[in-house]
């Protein structure tokens, strides 16, 4: 691949073109990914962009539940269909279906909420226990996402891990992000699990065929991904050829801004 893509190029590619109030179209760039299959975060982010475009900005996106139905080859032309399910006083609900030709390849349910006052509580974030991003070497690639890997937590005596991937991430470049940009980019980043769901082979590639089956994302607070955030992932269960993963995304001050869950298929080659 030829050089790091700009943030503007990244954000533009994640926004399908609106054809009508309920239909959108997109093409996965031919050089978007190293593999034949499109990265799942791409369709997650695009589905979020479609739903956000149809919603009153007074309501904030707080959850997505997505189902991957079929692989999407790189370079594919995609069509998105939006179905408004409910517009209430406190919540909006949307369904977004992504098609490749006549075939459904991804489907998502998204919910928006008017923020309300309420009690505060969260589990501790690992932010203050780990090296700050300034003390960790950056990983440079072709994405406008700067990554600083912290590695998994120490393995427990029973062979399990509290965390199977911990990494600082942030978006780099111009232009300044809109609120919609921040949410759409979060959707993309939430699928950057790498091998965190395979605790027995965290550092190995080429031995398995891995594929996301479904994805859930909950957005708890407003966020700005141009600042450093900690992605902290944990493999929960591997059984029956499937892996279940959960995780959090926290700001530097320890606020959990989003949490996620995912199930994947794992097959040895």
CA dihedral for 221, 226, 229, 232, sign (positive or negative): positive
Q: Give the bridge partners for 167, in sequence order.
A: 149, 231
According to the model, what pLDDT value does residue 49 have? 98
Radius of gyration for the chain, computed over Cα atoms and rounded to the nearest angstrom = 18
Distance (Å, rounded) from C-alpha 224 to C-alpha 228?
9
Alpha carbon distances (Å) from 207 to 182, 203, 213, 254, 267: 35, 11, 19, 36, 9
Digit-by-digit pLDDT tens for the chain (269 residues) are 445 789 999 999 999 999 999 999 999 987 665 567 899 999 999 999 999 999 999 999 999 999 999 999 999 999 999 999 999 999 999 999 999 999 999 999 999 999 999 999 999 999 999 999 999 999 876 789 999 999 999 999 999 999 999 999 999 998 889 999 999 999 999 999 999 999 998 877 777 788 999 999 999 999 999 999 999 999 999 999 999 999 999 999 999 999 999 999 998 87
> What tokens does 35 get?
């593999």
Distance (Å, rounded) from C-alpha 170 to C-alpha 225?
5
Distance (Å, rounded) from C-alpha 46 to C-alpha 11?
10
* Torsion, Cα of 230, 96, 195, 75 (10° steps): -110
Q: Where are the domains of the chain?
A: 7-116+128-268
Of the options 3.40.1170.60, 3.30.2130.30, 3.40.1710.10, 2.40.160.210, the CATH number for the domain spanning 7-116+128-268: 2.40.160.210
Contacts of 257 (CB under 8 A, 6+ apart): 219, 220, 221, 222, 223, 229, 249, 250, 251
């Amino acid at each position: 691949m030829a050089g790091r893509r700009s943030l503007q190029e990244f954000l533009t590619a994640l926004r399908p073109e609106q054809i009508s109030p309920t239909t959108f179209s997109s093409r996965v760039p031919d050089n978007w990914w190293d593999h034949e299959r499109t990265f799942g975060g791409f369709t997650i982010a695009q589905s979020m962009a479609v739903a956000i475009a149809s919603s009153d900005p007074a309501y904030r996106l707080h959850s997505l539940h997505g189902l991957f139905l079929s692989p999407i080859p790189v370079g594919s032309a995609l069509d998105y269909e939006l179905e408004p399910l409910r517009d209430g006083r406190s919540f909006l609900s949307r369904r977004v279906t992504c098609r490749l030709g006549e075939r459904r390849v991804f489907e998502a349910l998204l919910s928006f909420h008017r923020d309300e006052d309420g009690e505060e509580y969260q589990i501790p974030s690992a932010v203050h226990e780990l090296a700050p991003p300034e003390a960790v070497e950056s990983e440079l690639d072709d994405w406008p996402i700067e990554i600083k890997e912290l590695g998994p937590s120490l393995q427990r005596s029973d062979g399990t891990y509290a965390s199977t991937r911990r990494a600082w991430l942030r978006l780099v470049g111009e232009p300044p992000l809109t609120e919609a940009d921040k949410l759409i980019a979060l959707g993309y980043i939430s699928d950057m699990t790498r091998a965190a769901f395979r605790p027995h082979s965290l550092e190995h590639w080429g031995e398995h065929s891995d594929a996301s089956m479904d994805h859930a994302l909950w957005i708890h607070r407003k966020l700005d991904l141009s600042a450093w955030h900690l992605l902290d992932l944990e493999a929960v269960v591997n059984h029956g050829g499937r892996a279940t993963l959960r995780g959090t995304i926290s700001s530097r001050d320890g606020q959990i801004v989003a949490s996620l869950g995912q199930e994947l298929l794992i097959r040895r080659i």
